Amino acid sequence: MTTTDVTTTPGRERSAEELKALVEDAQRRFGERDADPDEVLAWAAETFGKKLAVACSMASDTVVPALVSTHLKGVDVLFLETGYHFPETLQTRDEFARDWPVNVRTLLPELTVPEQDEKYGAKLHDRDPGLCCGMRKVAPLDRALAGYEAWVTGLRREETPHRANAAPVEWDEHHQMVKINAIVDWTFDHVVAYAEENLVVVNPLLSQGYPSIGCAPCTRKVAPGEDPRAGRWSGVGKTECGIHL
């Protein structure tokens, strides 16, 4: 199922202190490095229920909501519709929503692309990608996450040096909530193998030279042997959109 909205969320009941205590308990139980995703997600589903959401960019990370849905049917999957996606990414979203027992929520920025162009000038992504990502990714996700107590990400340690110390369960200071990096120790090959074994649709661009996929204007193909994320914001010194900072 897919829905398009920015406002409907289940709301929070626990305080930040109560949520932090849950993180400490989880870190004692699962450790701070490698944990079995099924064990972590079974705990997350039981602890948070509908107050758990999954963020998914509809690239290789569709395996994450697929995994979560085996523990929590109907889980909300948050997809950021920036207005700049490849058609293959939207196609992946629709196929995934059709095939798996999840509720894909398509989150929209406040401004459409034409409205942003009118206010900031065309191709803001070339001139100020930080501002563009802030308006089209970070702010819509912030608004949505305010209505949940925990979120699951597809963040993996091997992706960037910034992610090298990520734990399976963390305190998210920015969002004041629990952050669950369910496949934090998986490699790209591990992700692909899981998708194949479990018939999870992944973005077809992955096998066409795009191992990391974001918005079309900010993603290029990478050469064999090149850093998989070298194709993101290539040449502008940016490596993260900001949602994991």
CB of 145 to ligand SF4, least distance (A): 17
Give the other-Cβ count within 10 Å of 34's Cβ.
12
Is 82 an interacting residue with respect to ligand SF4 (CB under 6 A)?
A: yes
Q: How far does CA 132 lie from the centroid of its chain?
A: 18
C-beta closer to ligand SF4: residue 77 or 241: 241
CB of 194 to ligand SF4, least distance (A): 26
CA angle 164/188/97 to nearest 5° reads 110
Burial 195-207 (b: 16+ CB within 10 A, else e): beeeebbbbebbe
Count of residues of this chain found to bind ligand SF4 when the rule CB under 6 A is applied: 13
56 carries an active-site annotation = no
State the binding site for [4Fe-4S] cluster: 132-133, 215, 218
Site for ligand SF4 in 119-138 (CB under 6 A): 125, 129, 132-133, 136-137
**Distance between CA atoms of 74 and 100, rounded to whole angstroms?**
9
Give the other-Cβ count within 10 Å of 44's Cβ.
26
* Residue nearest ligand SF4, CB atom distance: 215
**Distance between CA atoms of 76 and 148, rounded to whole angstroms?**
10
C-beta closer to ligand SF4: residue 199 or 245: 245
C-beta closer to ligand SF4: residue 1 or 131: 131
| Catalytic positions | 241
The site for ligand SF4 (CB under 6 A) is made up of 82, 84, 125, 129, 132-133, 136-137, 214-215, 217-218, 241
